[in-house]
Structure 1
Amino acid sequence: MAESLTLLVDNGSLEPAATLALRGLAVRLSGRLGRPVTPVSLLHSSGIDPKALGGEAAEIVFPALERRLAAGQNDFILLPLFFGPSRALTEYLPENLARLRPRFPALRLKIAPPLHAARDNRLAHILAQHVRDELDSTDTGRVALVDHGSPVEAVTAVRNELAQQVAGLLGSRVAAVTPASMERRAGPEYDFGKPLLADLLAEPPWNAGRVVVAMQFLLPGRHAGHDGDVAKICRAAEAAHPGLKTHMTKLVVEHPLLLDILADRWRQAG
């Protein structure tokens, strides 16, 4: 029997940098696990011109599965590059797998848990270390831990728990750690996503002094790139409040501890 093929799955992006970073992570994880890891995206990435990806087109998860099933590969481990239980994991993947199974009854697929887990604070250690990298020896600035923003309250709860853990790890090194969303859906039913980063940086005392924006983003792209949406929010806040200086941290993919977390999630699925 052929061994399971591991698919490392991100949400997907139209930005080439996201797919290239996903591929790099898959190579490093393959070295850690000692077996192939294939990078695929949930959506979007197939729209990238292959010329921007070294001539190799990005793969989308369900077409990638179908091609390999048709070639005789039936066993898979799907390793999500997601912080928490997004609808991609709780709805989109199960619904589409249910439609795929009648055509490929030999399909055997295990979905690993998302990155965040109870009693595992390694994500917080990554975020805290990235904040420390932006501090000097006397810094007691504020920290805004920002994620994309989710319509799923359980995903936002992961972000809020991470902010609490980061605050505990940083202690007196900073004056405060507050979670924020890059964006949120309109309506009171989505108020759990407050505050928006833009709103936070407009309010005292966050609109003055040094604020480290801790990036709870995995890969670069339209939101988290050097000229992405979060950077634009920070620049706009600084223009409106000349006494404010923001410092964005590195992305989670840039920390080697992410490999340890992914390897453990992979073992949990196996």
Structure 2
Amino acid sequence: FSSMTSIRVCAAVAATAAISAIAWGQLQPQTVTTAPRPVVAHVASEGKAMFIFGLGYTGDCFARELLAQGWKVYGTVRSQASFERYTKLGVVCVMLPEDVSQQTPEEVQAAQETLHSVTHILVTAAPTDTGDPMLARFQAALKTTTKLQWVGYLSTVGVYGDVDGQRVDESTPVNPKTQRAKRRVLAEKQWLDTRLPVHIFRLPGIYGPLRGPLEKVRSGTARRVLKEGHVFSRIHVDDIVLVLWASMARPRPGAIYNVADDLPEAGHVVTEYACGLLGVQPPPLVAFEDSDLTPMGKSFYSESRFMTNDLLKTELGVQLRYPTYREGLKAQLEEEQRLGVGAPAQRPWNQALKRLQSLFSLTPFPKKVTGRRAGPGPTVLLADNGSVRAASALNLREIASQLEAVLTKDPARPVRAVHATSVRWSDRINADQLGGRKAPLTVPMLTQLIEQGERQFVLLPFFFGPSASIPEILVKAVKAQQEQYPDLDVRMGPSLVCRCPFLFEGPKHYGDDVIAEILLDRILETILERGLTAPVVVLVDHGSPQAAVGRVRNYVAEKMPALLGDAASHFVEASMERRDGPEYAFNDPLLEVVLERPEIVGRDVVVALMFLQPGKHAGAAGDIAGIIDNSTAGKTGRVFMTNVIGTHPKLLALLAKRYAQSVPVAAVPTI
């Protein structure tokens, strides 16, 4: 788990925010009239330092995000093992044993001096019957701090008590019923009474990597308990981090936020969904009255609330990465699989393979067995269309290296190696530009490896859509080799975006949603780096003579307006180029035409590059940059290009899925 949060990208952007002039220190219903904020951002790291009281699950995730953004991070730990682990990570640790008497005067003084140097504080530690122990220890030091800009306190939605499933927002009075919730109400009040710039975040059940419904199913502790009309709220840890960033970008001392997703749901429904993702039978549904829950477990069913999160969206402009448990649990599972963590379970990728076996009468690749491998696994040839630019070939090598690291962690489907290859062009690049090693073409490399005795391969197309290069070059070559080598087992994965109905059971497998999310990240990164506010966004692809490939851009473009929301003032799709003739009109409009439109000229524009690799077209001095420079928009306004899709973590996950969905080349038609 130590590397999880470091690879995540919070897709959020920002502008400077002012502190609202409101009364502090009051636990009362809130009325918010601030104008909507379209997007949120990481807060610039220069001169910023965060002190985290309690490096638990959420504190750990936030600390890694902060470190990745260049912040100075301090945090409290209770054990020497934690001290050493977080010190290696880059956190300046403060030993803070639970028993105050065990803390040396030197440790107390060091902690107090540290608090005088930080600009932000996050409190995650649980309160006691007397309130927040962190505040009790360090209140005197906090009162004399002069640099503090923001304090976040993580509380619980349990402070509202039971409302019989009714809607709850920040204006709902607190009415705690359990002792846990009463402690939180007391701690909230104590922090607000300090008159420091305190912000309260009331959280429901937290889930994320190695925590929540999936982990309970794996460990065998999951229960499906039916209590009529009862619902739980929940939140993914990544979205908590996103909300904290948003609040720091727009602080409003005294603010209270409900940090929950958009869909409260009955616990047994969520458990059933988690079981489906893991491919296991759900536990039996038991009436609440007949359940064997512990007293703690039963206490959670004593209260039912429908949490609302409107304030996050209207005031902070937050767009949750995982609006419901469905997106969140699916993303959690994919991340755990990609990083090789989580208890063993029947994985969805294995389920997809079994389905393909029934369709094509396949024999699976050898699986890993206890103590040894039953076989070396296939060699994967990651194949792009090719380029004469060294940057493209080098980028493909990096992607292949990262994909190999991902695939070798899946014991169900071991691989021998992943090679970066190109269908054409790349062999023309001088080896001196590639570290002395030529870029191989796919078919010659396949032939070479076959002659060396290898017989198991997966061809993995690095194409957005069903390029003609796949059947015209790759499939024909493989079938020719299979005539000479009858024992040759070659399979092919689908393209990145594939709407093949006999392969996939619904839109969640198509891939266009993943590409859209990656493009969103690239767009927001550009907005943040350039300090833009609601620019025009133009999505541009290469253009294709094949209508099926052209439709891929359309599939992705359909999703972008909803994803962008108010982050963009206007959205339009375009192609870099097209062939002459009405039969190729599906590529329209061209980028050069779009950049001459009156509603775009003179505006800030972000050109989102729907390109996998840098090269002749999408490079810094490539064709698209030339189109921009020659356009009226480029001369009268500011036009910025995003980075290419490149090595985005979600792209690696999609490639890994496409590997698992590979089918025999014999089932792929030639033209």
Fold-level match, TM-score > 0.5?
Answer: yes
Determine the structure 2 residue equivalent to 1:124. 516
Is 2:439 the counterpart of 1:58? yes
Q: In 2, distance between residues paired with 1:76 and 1:179?
A: 37
Question: Do the aligned partners of 2:539 and 2:610 also contact (CA within 8 Å) in 1?
Answer: yes
Counterpart AA for 1:12: G
Give the greater-gyration-radius structure (CA): 2
Counterpart AA for 2:404: S
- Larger deviation: 89-98 or 207-216? 89-98
- Show CA shifts across 1:109-147 (max 9, x none): 111011114334111000011111122577222111101
Is 2:658 the counterpart of 1:265? yes
Q: Which runs of 5+ in 1 are unaligned?
A: none
- Show CA shifts across 1:202-227 (max 9, x none): 12212220111000001111111111
What is the SS of the residue equivalent to 2:635? Answer: coil
Q: CA deviation at 1:2?
A: 4.1
Q: In 1, distance between residues paired with 2:635 and 2:376?
A: 61
Gap change, CA 1:93 and 1:248, over 3 Å in 2: same
- Between the two structures, name the one with larger relative contact order (CA 8 Å, sep ≥ 6): 1
Determine the structure 2 residue equivalent to 1:218. 612
Q: CA deviation at 1:256?
A: 1.8
Is 2:521 the counterpart of 1:133? no
Instruction: Please list, as runs of the form range in 1=range in 2, the aligned pairs for 1:68-107 lying within 5 A after superposition.
Output: 68-107=449-488
What is the SS of the residue equivalent to 2:466? Answer: coil
Percent identity over paired residues: 38
Question: Do the aligned partners of 1:143 and 1:214 also contact (CA within 8 Å) in 2?
Answer: yes
Determine the structure 1 residue equivalent to 2:586. 192
What is the SS of the residue equivalent to 1:23? Answer: helix
Determine the structure 2 residue equivalent to 1:22. 396
Question: Do the aligned partners of 1:17 and 1:221 also contact (CA within 8 Å) in 2?
Answer: yes
Gap change, CA 1:41 and 1:242, over 3 Å in 2: closer
Q: CA deviation at 1:37?
A: 0.6
Question: Do the aligned partners of 1:180 and 1:195 also contact (CA within 8 Å) in 2?
Answer: yes
What is the SS of the residue equivalent to 1:135? Answer: helix
Determine the structure 2 residue equivalent to 1:115. 496
What is the SS of the residue equivalent to 2:392? Answer: helix
Q: In 2, distance between residues paired with 1:195 and 1:232?
A: 17
Q: In 1, distance between residues paired with 2:635 and 2:407?
A: 49
What is the SS of the residue equivalent to 2:458? Answer: strand
Question: Do the aligned partners of 1:14 and 1:44 also contact (CA within 8 Å) in 2?
Answer: yes
- Larger deviation: 44-53 or 199-208? 199-208
Counterpart AA for 1:25: I
Q: In 2, distance between residues paired with 1:52 and 1:209?
A: 38
Question: Do the aligned partners of 1:42 and 1:61 also contact (CA within 8 Å) in 2?
Answer: yes
Question: Do the aligned partners of 1:141 and 1:175 also contact (CA within 8 Å) in 2?
Answer: yes
Question: Do the aligned partners of 2:518 and 2:648 also contact (CA within 8 Å) in 1?
Answer: yes
Give the 4+ runs in structure 1 shifted more than 4 A: none
- Larger deviation: 136-145 or 119-128? 136-145
- Larger deviation: 28-37 or 190-199? 28-37
Q: In 2, distance between residues paired with 1:141 and 1:67?
A: 50
Counterpart AA for 1:268: Q
Determine the structure 1 residue equivalent to 2:641. 248
What is the SS of the residue equivalent to 1:9? Answer: strand
Is 2:577 the counterpart of 1:183? yes
Q: In 2, distance between residues paired with 1:232 and 1:11?
A: 22
Q: In 2, distance between residues paired with 1:2 and 1:242?
A: 57
What is the SS of the residue equivalent to 1:102? Answer: helix
Q: CA deviation at 1:50?
A: 0.8
Counterpart AA for 2:453: G
Q: CA deviation at 1:193?
A: 0.7
Gap change, CA 1:202 and 1:138, over 3 Å in 2: closer
Question: Do the aligned partners of 2:427 and 2:441 also contact (CA within 8 Å) in 1?
Answer: yes
What is the SS of the residue equivalent to 1:217? Answer: coil
TM-score for both structures, normalised by structure 2: 0.39
Counterpart AA for 1:224: A
Determine the structure 1 residue equivalent to 2:377. 3
Aligned residues: 269
- Show CA shifts across 1:26-59 (max 9, x none): 1111111114211111001111111111111111
Counterpart AA for 1:132: L
What is the SS of the residue equivalent to 2:599? Answer: coil
Question: Do the aligned partners of 1:4 and 1:77 also contact (CA within 8 Å) in 2?
Answer: yes
Q: In 1, distance between residues paired with 2:584 and 2:477?
A: 27
Q: CA deviation at 1:90?
A: 3.6
Is 2:424 the counterpart of 1:32? no
Q: In 2, distance between residues paired with 1:178 and 1:133?
A: 19
Q: In 1, distance between residues paired with 2:485 and 2:596?
A: 54
Determine the structure 2 residue equivalent to 1:12. 386
Question: Do the aligned partners of 2:399 and 2:647 also contact (CA within 8 Å) in 1?
Answer: no
Is 2:203 the counterpart of 1:203? no
Q: In 2, distance between residues paired with 1:245 and 1:104?
A: 57
User: Among 505, 521, 539, which residue is 1:145 paired with?
Assistant: 539
Question: Do the aligned partners of 2:629 and 2:635 also contact (CA within 8 Å) in 1?
Answer: no
Determine the structure 2 residue equivalent to 1:46. 427
Q: In 2, distance between residues paired with 1:33 and 1:22?
A: 16
Counterpart AA for 2:380: T
- Show CA shifts across 1:222-269 (max 9, x none): 11111111111111115x763222110011014221111111111112
Counterpart AA for 1:131: I
Determine the structure 2 residue equivalent to 1:234. 628
Q: In 2, distance between residues paired with 1:179 and 1:92?
A: 30
- Larger deviation: 81-90 or 4-13? 81-90
Question: Do the aligned partners of 1:213 and 1:247 also contact (CA within 8 Å) in 2?
Answer: yes
Q: In 1, distance between residues paired with 2:394 and 2:481?
A: 28
- Show CA shifts across 1:86-126 (max 9, x none): 11124332223233322232221111011114334111000
Q: In 1, distance between residues paired with 2:386 and 2:634?
A: 34
